[in-house]
Amino acid sequence: MSQYEKYYNSFYRELAEIDERCNRLKKISRFLPELSPGARVLDIGCGHGSVSSGLVTMGLRVYGMEINTEALISLQRRGIIPVEHDITQPFPKMEPFDLVLLLDVLEHVFDPLALMEQAAQTLTQTGKMIIVVPLYFDLIDRLHILFTGRIVSYDNHCYGQKLYRRFRSYNYDHIRFFSPRDVLELCRLVGLKVDLVEYSPLSAAYLGRVVERLVKIVANRMTVNFLPSLLSHSMIVRVQR
C-alpha cells in the first residue's frame, strides 16, 4: 500500500463518514445538465458516493473513482461502478463521460491543475463538468487567520468540536487554497469554458445568532456576486469544452 493509500484509508476514513451524512445530490441538482438514460458519469474522489448515488436512480451509468477501501465497497452496494485509482496518478484508459464531477476534491491534492487536466480529458465533446470548491479567503476566514494565526477554516465545525480541535495547520486536510479567480483561471488553463457559476454566502452560525444575522445581511444571495472573494465561502462551477 502506497503512502497516499495509507493516508486516505486512515485519516480520511472519519471525514468520509461525516461527508456521507452531510452531502446529497441536491447539492448540485440545479447544475445538472440534461442527460439521456444510460449517459456516463464519472465522480472523481467520490467518497462513499452519497452525491452520485442519486444519479444512479435517474438511470445514469455512474462510475466512482476512489482509493479508500471502505468507500469502494459502499460504491458497489449503491450501484456505482467502482474505479480504484490514486487520483494523483495518470488516469486509466476509459471511455469518455457525459458528466464529470469534482466535488470538494481540488483542495485535497498537491497538483489541482494536473487533476483538472486529467478530468477534462475524460469528457465527451459535449460533456459537462461540475466543480465544487471551498473558497479562501473570505471575510470571516481573514479575521479568523488574523486573530488565531490558524489556517483551519471555520466551516470545519460541521465535523463537530472533537474532530475540529484535532486540526492544526500542519495536519489540515485542505492543502490547496482558492479564491474565485483561481478556480476560474484553472478552468481556463485546461481549455474549459465556464457555463454556470454560483457562490454560496458566508455562514457564521457557530459564532452566535447576532453575528449570524449580521453576516446574512452583509453576504446574502443578492450581494455575494458583487464581491465573492470576501462574501462567499464556496462556489459551484459548471464547465464545458
* pLDDT of res. 59: 95
* Contacts of 117 by beta carbon, 8 Å cutoff, 6+ apart: 190
* Contacts of 100 by beta carbon, 8 Å cutoff, 6+ apart: 41, 42, 44, 119, 122, 123, 127, 128, 129, 130
What is the percent of the chain with per-residue pLDDT over 70, rounded to a whole number? 80
User: 210 pLDDT band (50/70/90 cuts)?
Assistant: very low
* pLDDT of res. 91: 96
* Angle, alpha carbons 157-162-164 (nearest 5°): 40
Residue 211 grid cell: 453575528
pLDDT of residue 102 exceeding 50, the answer is yes
206 vs 196: CA distance, rounded Å: 30
Supply the pTM of this predicted model. 0.87
As a whole number, the mean pLDDT across the chain is: 85
| Structure confidence by residue, pLDDT tens digits, 113-155 | 999 999 999 999 999 999 999 998 888 788 888 888 888 877 7
In the chain the domains, ranked by start, together with CATH numbers, are: 3-135+175-201+228-240 (3.40.50.150)
3-state secondary structure of 72: helix
